[in-house]
Chains A and B, each alone.
Chain A
Amino acid sequence: MPGQAAELVFDEATKVYPGREGAAVHELSLTVPAGEICVLVGPSGGGKTTALKLVNRLIPLTSGDIRIDGRSIRDHDVVELRRSIGYVIQQVGLFPHYTVEGNIGVVPRLYGESKAWTKTRSGELLELVGLDQSYAKRYPAQLSGGERQRVGLARALAANPPLMLMDEPFGAIDPIVRTRLQDEFLRLQGELRKTVVFVTHDVDEAIKLGDRIAILREGGVLAQYDTPAAILAKPVDKFVADFVGLDAGAVARLRARADVPR
Chain B
Amino acid sequence: MIASVFIDAFRFIPDHASLLFHKGVGTVELAFAALGIAIGLALPLGLWLGHKHRGLFLALALSNFGRALPSIVLIGFAILIFHFSLFGDCMVALIVIAIPPILTNSFFAVDGVDRDVVEAARGMGLTEAQILVRVELPLGLPLIVAGLRIASVFVIATATIAGIVGGGGLGDIIANPAAYRDAGVLGASYCVAALALVTAGALALLQRAAFRRMSPTT
* A-to-B contact residues, CB < 8 Å: 56, 58, 79-85, 87, 89, 91-97, 106-107, 110, 139, 141-142, 152, 155-156, 165
What are 5 sample pairs from A and B whose C-beta atoms fall under 8 A apart? A93-B119, A96-B114, A106-B124, A110-B130, A142-B217
- A107 near B123 with CB under 8 A, answer no
Given contacts A95-B135, A139-B216, contact A81 B119 (CB under 8 A): no
Report Cα–Cα, A80/B124, bound state, in Å.
9
Given contacts A82-B124, A110-B126, contact A94 B117 (CB under 8 A): yes
Chain A nearest Cβ from B134, distance in angstroms = 8
- B121 near A95 with CB under 8 A, answer yes
Chain A nearest Cβ from B114, distance in angstroms = 7
Residue of B nearest to A91 (CB): B116
User: Which of B117, B119, B127, B213 is in CB contact (< 8 Å) with A95?
Assistant: B117
3 tightest Cβ-Cβ pairs between the two chains A and B: A93-B120, A83-B125, A82-B125
User: Interface residues of B toward A: which range?
Assistant: 20 to 34
User: Which of B119, B126, B216, B218 is in CB contact (< 8 Å) with A97?
Assistant: B216
* B-to-A contact residues, CB < 8 Å: 114, 116-127, 130, 135, 138-139, 213-218
Residue of B nearest to A142 (CB): B217
Chain A nearest Cβ from B52, distance in angstroms = 16
- A79 near B216 with CB under 8 A, answer no
Task: Give chain B residues whose Cβ lies under 8 Å from the Cβ of A56.
Answer: 123
Residue of B nearest to A52 (CB): B123
- A92 near B116 with CB under 8 A, answer yes
Report Cα–Cα, A102/B146, bound state, in Å.
27
Residue of A nearest to B127 (CB): A79
- B214 near A82 with CB under 8 A, answer no
Task: Give chain A residues whose Cβ lies under 8 Å from the Cβ of B126.
Answer: 79, 106, 110
